[in-house]
Amino acid sequence: MAENISADVNELHCAYHLNGQQWSNGLSAVDKAVYDDRVAKLQKKPAELQARKAQAEKMAEEFLKWAQRHGYSGVKKVYWTARSDFNYRTLPGKFSHRYVEESKNNPTDILVEFRTSTRYADPHLGLSAKSLLKTLTQEAPVKNPGMGKIEEFIGKPNAFQKILEEGVAAAHNDTSIPYSGKYLDKVKIKKLIAAKDPEFLVAREKYTKQILGGCRELLIKELKRMGDIDMKMYILDELLDTDKLPKYVKVTGRSDAKLTNVEATVDDPLSNAKFEAMVKKNLPLTYEELGGDDGYTIGVKAGSKQIVQIRFKFSGTQLATGLKMSVAPWPGSIDRGVDRED
């Protein structure tokens, strides 16, 4: 809930400034009431509140600069899409009927209707907002589909769970640690860790490697089998949210460690270095095994361009909990993109 409060403050403050500091022309009294409520709740963290607002103003400024460079001019209306009664179907204009189906997975947080657009027929442009604290270089997170969605994509339902259960069974037979549900007893494992039991620590490392390494090996094998076309489409559509209607750009606000210095960057998913490598240059995909103390990671590249990292780890105590899979930007620092004018 706390994260939603911070995000709502950032998004609504940005929308308010895009709208000429007015709660009208798309923004409603409901939006203002939500904003006032969220600001009041964040007052107990004044430095963060100030940073979220300052980022929002910088994000609005950079978004409008980008829009102007790309043929949009004159803000007509601004909408906050998280509002419960917002509906793409009710938007004016000939394009709104196309949004209904296409907008289901659109990450737009703020939708701006411009008076004119010389480059695109549709005058609407979405803004997907991300607000990051205590970093001026970190890349905004990508969408995380979860392990089940990846299993569905490769056509191997429950494949990773099977590897986990086989590894846990082998660890049980080797160590005699009892089961607690599907996995080994967490209390017993924590006692062995606290005692620094040498035999258990060796066994834990062995079976953690078997499980996480096995999941990584299977996924790399299946992604290669899927082929570059299907994998690129999956990355672009499911992870990077590229080709969506209405068109949108990702705008990320960042603050330094003291929450005083703020920056904002704009990234067009259809015109950045990752899209360039995968689509325009059509470079082949490769997969790298990357290490980690508590997780096993796959790095996906197009040519030499780093795209995303896919990581397997235990959700809690190793051998006593299930697995989780996360997808993160690669590299973790800002990809400034190419921002092409063509």
Contacts of 303 by beta carbon, 8 Å cutoff, 6+ apart: 277, 281, 283, 284
Q: Which conformational region is residue 44 in: left (phi greater than 0), alpha (psi within -120 to 50 degrees), or beta?
A: alpha
Residues 227, 242: Cα–Cα separation, whole Å: 19
Residue 85: which of 30, 150, 47, 136 has the closest Cα?
A: 30
Residue 63: which of 143, 105, 125 has the closest Cα?
A: 125
Angle (nearest 5°) at CA 323 between 318 and 328: 110
Q: Which two tokens stand for residue 120?
A: 């695109």
Q: What is the pLDDT of residues 118-140, one digit of tens each?
A: 987 789 999 999 999 988 788 87
Q: 278 and 237 in contact (C-beta within 8 Å)?
A: no
The pLDDT score that the predictor gives to residue 306 is: 94
Could you tell me which residue, 285 or 99, shows the higher pLDDT? Answer: 285
Instruction: Give 224-230 contacts, CB < 8 A, sequence gap 24+.
Output: 224/287, 225/154, 226/153, 226/154, 228/284, 228/285
The pLDDT score that the predictor gives to residue 244 is: 78
Q: Does a cis peptide bond (omega within 30 degrees of 0) precede residue 145?
A: no
Q: Output phi, psi for 273, to 5 deg.
A: -65, -35
Q: What is the pLDDT of residues 3-28, one digit of tens each?
A: 589 999 999 999 999 999 999 999 99
Q: What is the pLDDT of residues 233-262, one digit of tens each?
A: 999 888 888 877 788 999 999 999 888 889
Q: pTM of the predicted model, to two decimals?
A: 0.81
